[in-house]
């Protein structure tokens, strides 16, 4: 069953018709709302700035946040340590089993 719906989002004075999964509607609308909130914040603080530049700054902010979040979720150092400790334990159990 195709559970798609059509919605219209208004972002930066433009309408965007989208077809999305019904389950994603709340998240999609929340994302658009966050973009508009940031756009309005920049417009309030920098009223003479072109809309194109305001949009670029909002995109930059979201990109930076995404990169910081990915960095926080980097589990590679932990995986390496777990593998190292697993090797130590395996060696210990092997040597104790042989005795």
d(CA 20, CA 5): 6
d(CA 58, CA 56): 5
d(CA 94, CA 88): 10
- What pLDDT is attached to residue 95? 81
Sequence-distant (6+) residues with CB within 8 A of 23 are 3
Burial class (CB in 10 A: 0-12, 13-18, 19+), 58: buried
- What pLDDT is attached to residue 99? 60
- What pLDDT is attached to residue 20? 97
| Chain segment 11-48, per-residue pLDDT in tens | 998 999 999 999 999 999 999 999 999 999 999 999 99
- pTM: predicted TM-score of the whole model, two decimal places: 0.69
- What pLDDT is attached to residue 78? 80
């Amino acid at each position: 069953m195709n559970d798609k719906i059509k919605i219209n989002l208004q972002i930066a004075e433009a309408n965007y018709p989208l077809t999305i999964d019904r389950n994603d509607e709340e998240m999609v609308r929340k994302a658009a709302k966050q973009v508009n909130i940031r756009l309005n914040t920049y417009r309030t603080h920098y009223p003479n700035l072109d809309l194109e530049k305001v949009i670029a700054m909002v995109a930059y902010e979201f990109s930076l946040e995404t990169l910081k979040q990915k960095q926080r979720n980097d589990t590679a150092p932990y995986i390496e340590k777990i593998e190292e400790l697993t090797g130590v334990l395996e060696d210990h159990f092997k040597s104790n089993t042989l005795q």
